[in-house]
């Protein structure tokens, strides 16, 4: 029997880039000093990856589904369920989930502030959440959680629900909340439930004490809710069901945690982990080592700082984030080299020149101490274009990792 190892998957968000003039035409990954990843590239294999598909610019959530080994075209549930899961409100197959805003409306349901002033105290959030969570509309149960500022997540749970419905948010102040319409005949019930929910939420929260206080203070009332990004949780098997593995996610952002939880991964919190360059790379390394030494078969580590730097057109900071990640990878490998199969990649390219996601394939690095080495000398976009992995699809990387780590059963006799 093959010895089982832990598959370790490190993603630098928005890693891939294009030549940058201020780096003498190198990409940030090529310019960064990355002795650890360069060594791993020499000892292992590299390649490029079209995370969703050739020419497709990936959104971070759909990209992560692909990196977790799922076909994003058939399993992507929309942003609602993924953000809800990230906020601690998990969906089950058949549920429809939304992202929400508290908003201000007048007596005719005309929107006067799409964010109800944006500022909410924890007490206000708790009172609003209590008023909405647990509501029932016929045989449909409403679950609700207030998250940050005016934001929240809502799940409708019950038989026969679909996400093919029109928007209720007029997206403009001075316009009336729209009536939800089914976009497919089978979604009629869902649209009816949404319309009843909108009315009942308004009636339940408009007279809460917090709105009397807001009125007295001249603040916008939090007397309605706007919902968006509906998504239905389909019949998606978890990673545990597909491979019989126990998997952990180490990430700072709710969307990544939510996407990982959606496929059954367990969130392992790390003290000091944030979505910025100030995140504790050391603590992330230590926690990753702990998970590898513990009983996890698959550990996913997400570093957000690279993408933030790209969005800010901040080349120096992207280089720095890559260098700090390199150091982090060094600590992990030093402690676990004979226990892991490791991949390092990005979820999409985010060229600093563009400041947004692009369709350029991302470089990927695969390493284990027993792997056949290819000709790669460094971990970079240009070297990866000649590597043994050639051009992969995003959804192929997880089975490769798990295969080498001994978690994929033989096919055939
Ligand atoms: Zn991303």
Which pLDDT band holds residue 83 (cuts at 50, 70, 90)?
Answer: confident
d(CA 92, CA 229): 17
Alpha-carbon span 60 to 51, nearest angstrom: 10
Distance 350 CA to ligand 1 centre (A): 8
* Residues 202, 395: Cα–Cα separation, whole Å: 43
Q: How far is the CA of 348 from the centre of ligand 1 (A)?
A: 6
Strand order in the sheet with 247-250: 266-267, 247-250, 298-303, 6-12, 340-345, 362-367, 45-50, 390-393
Q: 411 is written with which tokens?
A: 């096919």
At residue 229, the 3 state secondary structure works out as strand
Domains of the chain by range and CATH? 6-77+237-404 (3.40.720.10), 83-232 (no CATH)
Question: What is the pLDDT at residue 194?
Answer: 97
* Ligand 1 centre distance from Cα of residue 276 (Å): 13
Residue 332 alpha carbon to ligand 1 centre in Å: 23
The predicted structure's pLDDT at residue 377: 95
- The 10 Å Cβ neighbour count of residue 183 is 14
β partners of residue 6: 340
Given the structure tokens 């990982």, which residue do they identify? 260
- Per-residue pLDDT tens digits for 228-283: 989 998 888 999 999 999 999 999 888 899 999 999 999 999 999 988 899 999 99
Please report, rounded to a whole number, the percentage of residues in the chain having pLDDT higher than 90: 90
Say how many Å lie between the CA of residue 60 and the centre of ligand 1.
Answer: 4
Rounded to whole angstroms, the Cα distance separating 269 from 83 reads: 17
Q: Model-level pTM?
A: 0.85
312-335 as b/e: b if 16+ CB within 10 A? eebbebbbbbbbbbbebbbbbbeb
Distance between Cα 187 and ligand 1 center (Å): 31
Distance (Å, whole) CA 210 – CA 128: 9
CA of 67 to the centre of ligand 1 (A): 11
Summary mean pLDDT of the chain: 95
d(CA 111, CA 125): 20
Q: Are 262 and 85 in contact (CB under 8 A)?
A: yes
pLDDT of residue 90: 84
C-alpha 318 to ligand 1 mean position (Å): 14
Give me ligand 1 centre to Cα 275, in Å.
Answer: 11
């Amino acid at each position: 029997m093959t010895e089982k190892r832990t598959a370790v998957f490190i993603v630098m968000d928005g890693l891939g880039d294009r030549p940058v003039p201020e780096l003498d035409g190198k990409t940030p990954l090529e310019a960064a000093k990355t002795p650890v990843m360069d060594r791993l590239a020499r000892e292992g294999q590299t390649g490029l990856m079209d995370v969703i598909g050739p020419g497709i610019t990936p959104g971070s959530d759909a990209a992560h589904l692909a990196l977790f080994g799922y076909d994003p075209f058939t399993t992507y549930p929309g942003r609602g369920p993924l953000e809800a899961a990230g906020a601690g409100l998990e969906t089950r197959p058949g549920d429809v989930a939304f992202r929400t805003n508290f908003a201000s409306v007048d007596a005719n349901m005309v929107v006067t502030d799409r964010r109800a002033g944006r500022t909410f105290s924890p007490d206000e959030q708790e009172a609003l959440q209590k008023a909405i969570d647990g509501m029932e509309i016929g045989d449909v149960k409403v679950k609700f959680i207030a998250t940050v500022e005016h934001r929240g997540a809502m799940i409708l749970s019950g038989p026969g629900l679909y996400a093919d419905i029109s928007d209720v948010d007029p997206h403009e102040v001075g316009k009336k909340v729209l009536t939800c319409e089914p976009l497919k005949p089978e979604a009629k019930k869902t649209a009816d439930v949404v319309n009843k929910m909108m009315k009942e939420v308004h009636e339940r929260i408009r007279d809460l004490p917090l709105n009397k206080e807001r009125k007295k203070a001249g603040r916008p009332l939090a007397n309605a809710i706007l919902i968006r990004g509906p998504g239905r949780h389909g019949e998606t098997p978890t990673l545990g069901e597909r491979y019989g593995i126990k998997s952990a996610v180490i990430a700072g952002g709710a969307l990544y945690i939510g996407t990982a939880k959606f496929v059954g991964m367990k969130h392992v919190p790390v003290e000091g982990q944030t979505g910025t360059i100030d995140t504790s790379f050391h603590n992330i390394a230590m926690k990753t080592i702990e998970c590898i030494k513990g009983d996890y078969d698959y550990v996913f580590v997400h570093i957000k700082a690279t993408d933030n730097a790209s969005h800010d057109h901040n080349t120096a900071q992207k280089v720095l984030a890559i260098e700090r990640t390199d150091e982090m990878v060094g600590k992990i490998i030093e402690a676990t080299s004979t226990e892991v199969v490791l991949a390092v990649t990005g979820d999409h390219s985010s060229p600093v020149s563009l400041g947004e996601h692009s369709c350029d394939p991302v470089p990927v690095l695969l390493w284990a101490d027993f792997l056949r080495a290819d000709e790669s000398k460094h971990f970079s976009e240009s070297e990866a274009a000649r590597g043994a992995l050639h051009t992969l699809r995003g959804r192929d990387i997880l089975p490769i990792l798990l295969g080498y780590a001994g978690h994929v059963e033989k096919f055939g006799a």
